[in-house]
Structure 1
Amino acid sequence: MERLNSKLHLQNCYIMKENERLRKKAQLLNQENQALLSELKQKLGKGNSSKGNAPNDILDLNLNLNLCSTSNANPANSSKP
């Protein structure tokens, strides 16, 4: 029984470590997405300043990215007591 408990404890530690690694990676990807979105908005803003209004596609893109980033902002903390 103790051996099984030790094995499960090691698996749990590994899972928590992997979860932390993936959370950090997700945060970096989110930051990169936000930077790219900002850059895209700037480029579209400059390109459209002489052409008229910005296309609706960028608004849809922004909405979708915001929904993704808020729903996945910190999923690990939601399971903590």
Structure 2
Amino acid sequence: MPRRILQGTVVSDKQDKTVIVSVVRRFKHPMYAKIIQKSKKYAAHDETNNCKEGDVVKIRECRPISKRKTWEVLTEGA
């Protein structure tokens, strides 16, 4: 099964080797045909602690690293 890749903004980097990434998705309301934005926060593994608040990063699904952490930050080379 392919791993999903999402793009979002880092909103917190206070934890060690973990960043919180806010991913915004836009979609059209089925009845009112208005464009709506919904956001969701994901805890992502950042092995090297390179990400800072405000950075735009890509995250990829991975094996469970902890209770909430099932995403990893993609490095620039990937």
Q: Sort the TM-score into its range (normalised by shorter chain).
A: under 0.3
TM normalised by structure 1 equals 0.19
Structure having the higher helix fraction is 1
Structure having the higher strand fraction is 2
TM normalised by structure 2 equals 0.19
